[in-house]
Structure 1
Amino acid sequence: MSAATAADGTATAAGGHNPWIIAVVVALATFMEVLDTTIANVALRYISGGLAVGPDEAAWVVTSYLVANAVTLTASSFLAKRYGRKAFFLWSVGVFTLSSILCGFAWSLESLLFFRVLQGLGGGGMAPLAQSILADSFPPEKRGQAFALYGVAIVVAPAIGPTIGGWLSDNASWHWCFLINGPIGLGALCLMYWVIEDPPKAVAERRRLREQGVRFDLVGFLLVATFLGALEVVLDEGQRKDWFGSNLIVTFALIAGLAFAAMIPWLLTRDNPVVDLRLIGRRQFGACFLVMLATGAILISTTQFLPQLTQELYGYTATLSGLVLGPGGAVTVVMMFVAGRLSGFIQPKWLIATGACVIAVGMLDLTRLNGQSSFSFFMWSRIYIGIGLPMIFLSITSASYQGIDKGRTDQASALINVARNVGGSIGVCIAQNTLAYRQQFHQSRLGEHVSSVEPAYRETLGQATAYFSQRGFAGPDAERQALAWIAQQLQTQVALWAYIDVFKVLSIMAMTAVPLALLLKSTKPGGQAPVGH
């Protein structure tokens, strides 16, 4: 039996090639796509400065990619079946690679966001297809090894993304965080064209859909895309535009509301909807969906905010900020194997609850933040997340497919991945808005004590003035230096308190996963499920 033949004698997606070549190529493409969810996070400060925009505007670079990625995920299963898995995969990798290069040459925030959306649209179709290609390229007895290679790729990529992005930003420019995908993507594209084939059953399925006249749910797709896109504008721009005091926010909120109101009945009444919302209505899958929303929110927001915090308030370079996240990524890789063994005899709901508690502890630990916090302080917070995340991800993978028909597993996989991306986007927006609002709050409260009638303020001003006088500043100049120093200390304290509030909110979000996990039904220990991205 050749490497391209399954145990039952049917041809596989490997064609006449060694399936391990396909596994490596598919893992490489997936690695590249997942890498882009985190590689730009530590470069946001460089992007903000290079394009002359604020940090909150630069955050769109992350959220726009996640939303566009989620939109494509909803359509990837049908498009691959209808137009051919190989053709759609090549198209996805091609769009992703080209848009990555264009991101590297972006000349303004608007152009970068446009190319970033294209990049997300291309990347969204890669992960689900990678899983099905691996499943069809290997006989059942060897699929576990193939998925292990794939799993390592999707775990290692976000772990090392910040470190690579930081090093490139410090030693070259932020543009290389995107340009690096060019040669990798082109190489992967050529190899895929050479080695990947659509298996006979996929060709037969494509022919059946064409003969039956089954069409893509374009209306449903547009409603989903409109809802997610408009919601993203409201969340990202709301705080900066004074929320519903802005005509722009009101307009997009209405668009999101109308799209949502039209989307629900449309998707529930279609025979072949782009998103099977009935799955979310199930207790088991719905709980997993909500847990993944919260998990994605914490994963993506902390990956962005820890580098932002260390660079803004502690003077870390982008490389050093990336290294803060590195040990947590290494722990995640190890815990993937540990959690996999634990899942053999512990129910998913208990692993999810435990993982959520560990992550909540990590977020609460960050509330001890102060001006003298060290590298190891930030590193350990990420290690806690690295311990908890695999317990949640792997457990959701097995629990979410419980009781779902085999023909609907593609939809289930897409929805779980949509939850992760949309949750990440919402998490970044919530954290960004919390940071802005709490800075205003603490600025107001602490500013009340910066007054000449306050004894503590007069004493501090006197000591600071004396300090600068001893260092050569004349009377008025020494006082001006002292006032500037006090203002700087005030702003630092305001920022620290605001970040502490952000981590409190993220801790609460983590704890919401605990009661949701307890709603899950018991599953067969050690049951195998499709690999999630």
Structure 2
Amino acid sequence: MSDAKLEEQWKPQYNPWLIAVIVTSAAFMEILDTTIVNVALPHIAGSLSSSNDEATWALTSYLVANGIVLTISGWLSDLFGRKRYFIICIIMFTVCSFLCGIAQSLTQLIIFRLMQGFFGGGLQPNQQSIILDYFPPAKRGAAFGVTAIATIVAPVLGPTLGGFITDQVTWRWIFFLNVPVGMVAAFFVSVMVEDPPWEKNRRSRGIDYIGLSLITIGLGCLEIMLDRGEDADWFHSNFICLMALLAFLGILGAIGWLLIARKPIVDLSVFADRNFTGGCIMIGATGGILYASAVLIPQFAQTVLLYTATWAGLILSPGGIAVIILIPFVGRLMTKIQIRYLIAGGFTIIGCALLYSSTLVPNIDFKTLVFMRTFQSAGLAFLFVPISTIAYMTLPRELNGDGAALFAMFRNIFGSIGIALATAQVTERSQVHQSYLSQWTTPFNQPYQALVAQYEQTLHSLGRVGAAAHDAAVGRVYQVFRTQAAILGYRDVFFYCAIVAFLIVPLCFLLSPKTGGTRGGGH
């Protein structure tokens, strides 16, 4: 029987839905690790006798290695075989997680996190590539619903789980948590997952040293710039300027080389497919909004409202539940409404949610913050599954590996950009508002003087007298002033995120309505 006949008749031995759950559990573990460490960094710094600034390298090292490998995972799958490479990634990610948990110094932790990011980078693209092969186009929307739970819920659950584990046990269990999950996933993948004939027959492209070097320099320096920029005062730092220059030259050089290379490490011809290109742009925007908004609300709760890490994380949890509830509903809508209209609706919903989030006030309560985040998450539920489905709908099967790698890379890189820009803008806009508000804090402004007098009177009733009471009252007013400026800064950033979401809406209608003849996508 010919190879073409075998490929046509191939069917997986095990239930595809069971396979989807198994491979998604491995990806969930990796995505969770991108955010679960954030809230534990102060505890890590304290226990390993390092500064908070030094401890952030544990996060940076992971993101650098992860971002590089995401892009070249299609080539690595060809080199080792997809199933073999996927199992290697799961096992080594699990081993590195254990090593991170027993690290005795910050240097050890950074090295193990670098290794963890390197092997973790292959999990998401391989998971998506396996789902693409195991499900026909008509069923991929529902299958990507399983993937969406990992992709959207994991970043939401990360800070909550990380805060709880850190507060209740120790930060080391953040890493030990991966060990049982990784062991179970590796076992079931080795037993149940199989490579289809077209994957087994695929030949390695060889090693593209130039492409690999340029991608490593470009994406590695970009991740370092994004993750360290805020602490280093961005382009006022020579180090950040150097990273930006190397990132620009590396990425530009990589694109130029990959377009002319005979056997490129990443096949950029995937971008000839209009739906895939549009899908990458939209998943990038979704990733940026997802990660930025997932950072902004807990950061606001901790720095302005003085919530604990656990309570700040709990603000995000109901949003994750909303996503799980809405995804089956979105899957049904995809059979009745053109996918591009559904995506446009999703960006409109999240734009409105972010616009509502820009109405933050100093006395905002926990329930309102939870509702704001749940409203945002509801919009995200309408984006990931439809975007993933339409991106691969018309992509040739032989390009699925490179497509999955680049699709995941767009989401993660733009997620890092979203976090960096959001945190930088909060600082900048807070300073702008602080500068503007300072003109009212003068002896000649009656409301300011009345507020100082009010605090001074309260302090007098508590036993403070004379100049001490006046100085304490001025200090208290200054704290209120700083809080007001910070809240205005957060409001501005949520407003900017809303504008980005609304700007993407018109682009949705540029997607091709011809999506392979499936219901809801193409007519």
TM-score under structure 2 length normalisation: 0.87
**Alignment partner, residue 327 of structure 1:** 318
Q: How does 1:111-150 map to 2 (within 5 A)?
A: 112-133=109-130
Structure 2: how far apart are the matches of 1:260 and 1:135? 28
1:491 to 482, 485, 492: 482
Give the CA deviation at 1:243. Answer: 3.9
Residue 331 of structure 2: aligned partner: 340
Give the one of 396, 402, 407 matched to 2:387: 396
Give the secondary structure class of the aligned counterpart of 1:512: helix
Contact 1:155 1:333 in 2 (8 A): no
Match status 1:82 vs 2:73: no
- Structure 2 contact 218–246 (Cα < 8 Å) conserved: yes
C-alpha distance in 1 between matches for 2:50 and 2:438: 29
Query: Among 323, 334, 351, which residue is 2:342 paired with?
Result: 351
The offset of 1:402, in angstroms, is 4.3
Residue pair 1:313, 1:492 contacting (<8 A) in 2 also: yes
Partner residue in 2 for 1:385: 376
Q: Is the 8 A contact 2:73 2:402 kept in 1?
A: no
Aligned match of 1:28? 25
Q: Note if contact 1:298-1:424 (Cα within 8 Å) is conserved in structure 2.
A: yes
What residue number does 2:183 align with?
A: 186
Counterpart position of 1:231: 222
Q: SS of the counterpart of 2:345?
A: helix
* Partner in structure 2 of residue 3 of structure 1: none
1:428 correspondence with 2:428? no
Query: Tell me, which stretches of 5 or more residues in structure 2 are unaligned?
Result: 1-5
Q: 1:465 aligns with which of 410, 432, 456?
A: 456
Offset of residue 76 of structure 1: 1.6
Q: Is the 8 A contact 2:64 2:224 kept in 1?
A: no
> How many aligned positions are there?
514
Distance 2:482 2:423 in 1: 17
Q: Is the 8 A contact 2:230 2:420 kept in 1?
A: no
- Counterpart of 1:400 in 2: which secondary structure? helix
2:176 corresponds to which letter in structure 1? L
8 Å Cα contact 2:358/2:491 also seen in 1: yes
For 1:455 and 1:281, the matched residues in 2 are separated by 65
Deviation at 1:502, TM superposition (A): 1.6
Q: Deviations over 1:208-265 (max 9, x none)?
A: 44xxxx3032321221221112123333444544444432223222212221332122
Q: How much is the aligned-residue C-alpha RMSD, in angstroms? A: 3.3
The answer to whether the Cα contact below 8 Å between 1:344 and 1:526 also exists between their aligned partners in 2 is no
- Of residues 66, 70, 73, the one that matches 1:69 is 66
CA distance in 1, matches of 2:496, 2:361: 18
1:103–1:116 Cα contact (<8 Å) kept: yes
From the superposition, tell whether residues 347 and 110 of structure 1 become closer, same or farther in structure 2 (CA, over 3 Å).
Answer: farther
Instruction: Check conservation: 2:62, 2:117, Cα contact below 8 A.
Output: yes
Shift of 1:363: 1.1
Offset from partner CA, 1:262-317 (integer Å, 9 cap, x none): 21220111233223334336543332222211110110111122111112222222
Aligned to 2:282: 291
**Closer, same or farther in 2 for the Cα pair 1:312/1:109, shift >3 Å?**
farther
Instruction: Classify 1:90/1:330 alpha carbon distance in 2 versus 1 (closer, same or farther; 3 Å).
Output: same
Q: Could you tell me which residue of structure 1 aligns to residue 160 of structure 2? A: 163
Amino acid at match of 1:77: G
Select which of 365, 389, 401 maps to 2:356: 365
What is the aligned-residue identity percentage? 38
1:513 to 498, 504, 513: 504
Q: 2:170 aligns with which of 173, 179, 202?
A: 173
Counterpart of 2:291 in structure 1 is 300
Q: 2:87 touches 2:190 (CA, 8 Å); kept in 1?
A: yes
In 2, are the aligned partners of 1:86 and 1:196 still within 8 Å (CA)? yes
Amino acid of the structure 2 residue aligned with 1:514 = V
- Asked if 2 retains the 8 angstrom alpha-carbon contact of 1:364 and 1:504, the reply is yes
Q: Does structure 1 conserve the Cα–Cα contact (< 8 Å) formed by 2:273 and 2:394?
A: no
